[in-house]
Each structure stands twice: as structure tokens, then as C-alpha cells.
Amino acid sequence: MICVNLRASILCLRGALFLSVCAFAQDGAATTNNWPHYGGTQFAWRYSALDQINASNVKRLAPAWQFQTGDYEMGLQSTPIVVDGVLYLVTSRNQLFALDAATGKLIWNYKYPLPRGPVSYGPQNRGVAVGDGKVFMGTYDNYLVAVDTKTGREAWKVNIDDTKQCGCNVTAAPLIAKDKVIVGGSGGDSAHRGYLTAFDMKTGRLAWRFYAIPGPGEKGNETWKGDSWKFGGGAPWMTGSFDPKLNLVYWGMGNAASDLYSGDRDPGTTAGGVNLYTASVVALDADTGKLRWHHQEVPKDVWDFDSAYECVLVDREVRGKMRKLLVHVNKGGFVFVLDRETGEFIKAYPMVELYNWITGITEDGKLVGRKDPVVGAATMICPGATGGKSWNQTAFSPRTGWIYSPAQEACNDLIARKDEPNEGRSFIGGNWISKMPPGKISSGHIDAYDPVTGRRQWTYQYKYWLMASLLTTAGDLVFSGDPEGFFFALDARTGQKLWEFQTGAGNRGSSVTYSVNGRQFIANPSGWGSLAGGMGGFFPEFESRGGSVLTVFALPENSK
């Protein structure tokens, strides 16, 4: 491949026959020495421009240091954040560590006082955000805490909602957009009305709140039957993205509740969506939280097919015109491509083999051939409750121009039942039973796609589900880990496995890469956790091993 820099874009000549324009070199979309945000940068590419470790030398990659958190509950699901040689790591029970990113030496730790009594969605934490000299951490009893990066002491702390009442808490990493820190919450399977809340980074004061469900008098409230909007779910339980130039924050909203039964929330009309803005991607003004546009991927969701996952912001050519896009995997196993300036639907394509909840999606984004669960009888639905992809994230490489996604093939029998909302309590409206269609076996895979056309470039096949995030680098590598404990590197162009290392426990977190004093490191959390037990229904022979360890790799010092 020959690449030529042409102002902001890179023209790539692939052989003699293929001519394709790579992504604009989007300013600041790749990480370099730091890993400053949950998704790498606010564009959520999970791509680093570092290439010291690359496809030709990755075989020599070896552990440089390890850090045992000592907090094994629910494994280690988080994304480390690295700023100027300091690595910030959080465990599922809000134990926060600042480590020397080159050596692993502990700089400080902050132990959040464990709440008394049980908590709604269990202790799970997927990461922190760092900015304005503070580490921002959502807690499992629903506070947002700012900790001084230098001292490890609290700077401010604010309650987001009473966890005992709302049945919600924070499991996601917050997102920083300019002077604000924005945090989503869990609660989408409870009788709860989800929201995003933005706080001023400096003072902790409320900046804005965006409800996933519009209130009376607001546009979209008419897409709810009666009072069902009050407890209709929509909790945005993962982390969004931010485009500084457009000043828009993008976030995926959770499923409608009760999850599997829509009889009490469906107003009977379908024009313009049902149960807005659940199972939707929204674009909000970063300063005010006001809705700029939305796209509802799943109107009247009855499968728990959230839109909560990451929004990957890429600039790509569509039908001869460069567009600012948002690429988003829905839990139902479809990738949605939207114009992120306008919300215009561009394309959707499946990323799993097994899907039957719809037969397809039209060119203007309408779902076709819905298969809704019924009350009191089992309906086989694919993908299953864990989704075609779980919350572990995709990665995008501007070098290949491809998006890399983990996937799992699984189905469930769904049984709907009428459910009454009881504020903050479970509000599922039915159940899932692990079950595969006759002759099919459950499995996992990682695939490379052209994000716009959906054309699959390669597939890495695996016998269990793959539930760790992907990481891709300018070294033309894709990193991830598997439930058996192996952390591995694939060739970003072919999918061929080039290297692996046994970390000692299953992988359910998000690896990152960074550089300190010219040496590139790859840091990988392992320890399983978070719905990992759901795999047992499909793989009775699989035995998970819990843990909570960060393993950091580099090339040996004498062989860089």
C-alpha cells in the first residue's frame, strides 16, 4: 500500500486496481503518549498512533510489570487512563489507584468507603475520567467523586440520585467535554427513568441533566402510553463521545422498561418512534444538554436491545462525499451508521450470523419483520440477552480504514409477562432462557469491517464469547483477551493471531497503550466479571477464574 499525505487527508493506493480514500486524519482522534479518555480520545476510536510495538516485533512482547489490586469482586472491568506517565486504575468496588505507568509503583490509592447494604446493579466499574487535575469516578452507590490527581484526596463529591429509591448507580466511566464531566447511570432494567447528568469539573455543581424520556409537554412524551414514561427505563449505562468541533456530545440510550413487555407503554402509534428516546443514539449540545438530533434504532424495544454502547466518530467517504459519521453497534447485533452532524441514517448491517428478531433494516432505517416475544410462551430470539456484542468496545484504525468488533453468537427463549412498575425495583416484564436453535452452537468472533459498507474483511473465530474490548494501533495490531485468560494480538490486516500471553484470569476489561520516555506499553486488565456467568448457560464445561490484575507489556529494553 502506498499512502500519500494530501493536506488533511491521506490518499491510499492499494495495488494498482483499488483506489480508496482513507479517513481524514481527524485531529486528535488517535491517542499518542497518553490514553486520556475512556475510548482513547473523545472520538472513541480506541486507536493509538504508537507503532514501536508492531506486527513484525510483537512476538517479543513481554510483561514489564503487574499490579494486583487485591479487590477481586466482579473482576477488573475497567479501562485504565494514562496521563503524563501516571496510570489511573479503578476496581469494581471503587478502589482507585494511581501508578507510575513505567514501573507500576503505587503513587497513591483512594479507597471509597463501601456503602452499607446491597446495591442495585452490584459493584461494577468500567473506568474513570481525568481532567482539571482530578480523577472523576462514579460510585456504586451513585455518587460522582472528584479526587485530586496529585494527592489522591477528595476534591468534591455529589450524589446523583438516591440509589435506594431509583434502583440505579454508576457503572460507566464519565466523559469529559470541555469544562464538564458527564455521567450516565444504570437502572434500565428497573422501574426508573434514565438520564445523563453533567457537572462542572471544577466545582462539582450541576450543569445540566438530559432525561432519556421526555416529560409531559416535551416532544416525544406522546410516544409513551399513560404514565409509563415515569418508569420507562432508557438508562444510558455506558460512556458517550464528544466532537469538539461540532460541540456535540453523543450518547447511546438504554432499553425501554419493562424490558420484554410493551403492552403498558406502547401508545399504539409508530410514526416518529415509540418510547423515545430509549434504544436511541442522541446528540446533545455540550454546553446545555439540549437535544440536537436523535435516531431511534429500536422503536418499541421488547428484546432488551439497548443502544447503550459506544459511539465511534469517524470521517469517511460515503457515495463520493466525505461525511462526519457515527458508527454504533446496537445490542441486537446490527451496526448503525449515522451522519453525526444531522443524525441522518446512512446504513445498517448485521455483525452476527444469528439474528431473527428482525429480518432486516430498510435503506431508510426501518426495522422489517419484527419477531416480538409473547406473553406466557417461549419465543426463540437471536441474539440473546448479552447481545450480538456486549459492552466491551470496538476499535477503529485509520490505517486500514476498518472497524474491529467483538461478537457472540447466542440465542434465548424469551417469555414476556405483564409487570407492574415499583420504583427502583426490577422491571423486566419477562425472562430469558439460554437456548440455541437446533444444530447451532454458540461461539464468539472478532471481525474487521469497512464501517460504511459493512463489508467483512476478516474473521477471528473463537469457541467461547469474546468479552474484552479491542485495541488497535499504528503497529497494525488488534489486541484483545479471551475468557480463558489469554491476552493476544492479531494482525490488523489479516486477523491472524501473532502473539498471546496467559494473564491468569478471564478478560472482561479494556486494554490501552501509552508511552513513557520513548517506551511503548500495553496495559491489560484481567479478572473476568460482569455477566460473565451468563456464558455458563451455553458452555457448561467452561470454568471461569476470577481475579483482578493489570498486566503491562513492552518490548524488552534491549530489543526495541
- Which residues make up the interface to another protein (CB under 8 A)? 73, 93, 114, 116-123, 153-162, 164-166, 189, 193, 199, 203-206, 209, 215, 230, 384-385, 412, 417, 419, 423, 425-426, 428, 431-434, 531-534, 536-537
Nearest CB to another protein, comparing residues 393 and 544:
544
Q: How far is the CB of 392 from another protein (least distance, A)?
A: 15
- Asked whether 351 and 390 are in contact (CB, 8 A), the reply is no
Q: Are 389 and 331 spatial neighbours (Cβ–Cβ below 8 Å)?
A: yes
Strand partners of residue 434: 412
Cell representation of residue 458: 476478516
Per residue in 53-82, is it b (16+ CB within 10 Å) or e — as a string? bbbeebeebeebbebebebbbbbbbbbbbb
CB closer to another protein out of 41 and 278 = 278
Catalytic residue among 141, 189, 301, 304: 304
Nearest distance from C-beta of residue 111 to another protein, angstroms: 13
- CB 96, min distance to another protein, A: 16
What's the angle, vertex CA 72, arms to CA 68 and CA 77, rounded to 5?
85
Nearer to another protein, 159 or 496 (CB): 159
Q: In this structure, which amino acid lies at residue 386? A: T
What does the CA dihedral 184, 395, 401, 240 come to, rounded to 10 degrees? Answer: 10
Whether 304 is catalytic: yes
Is the peptide bond prior to 236 cis by the omega test (within 30 degrees of 0)? no
Asked if residue 193 lies in contact with residue 232, where contact means CB atoms within 8 angstroms, the answer is yes
Distance CA 213, CA 221 (A): 7
CB of 390 to another protein, least distance (A): 12
- In whole angstroms, how close is the CB of 467 to another protein at the nearest point? 12
**Minimum distance between the CB of residue 429 and another protein, rounded to whole angstroms?**
10
Taking the least distance from each CB to another protein, the nearer of 501 and 542 is 542
Beta bridge partners of 148: 134
CB of 253 to another protein, least distance (A): 17
**Residues 546, 506: Cα–Cα separation, whole Å:** 7
CA 331 – CA 531 distance, rounded (Å) = 14
CA 432/CA 436 separation, integer angstroms: 12
CB nearer to another protein: give 48 or 507.
507
DSSP 331-367: TTSEEEEEETTT--EEEEEESSS---S-SEE-TTS-E
How many Cβ atoms are within 10 Å of 162's Cβ, its own excluded?
12
Q: Which is nearer to another protein, 121 or 553 (CB)?
A: 121
Which residues, at least 6 apart from 217, have a Cβ–Cβ distance to it below 8 Å? none
CB of 185 to another protein, least distance (A): 13
- Toward another protein, which CB reaches closer, 354 or 361? 354
Q: Are 126 and 240 in contact (CB under 8 A)?
A: no
Nearer to another protein, 376 or 518 (CB): 376
- CA separation (Å) from 547 to 68, 69, 477? 9, 9, 26
3-state secondary structure of 241: strand
Catalytic residues: 304
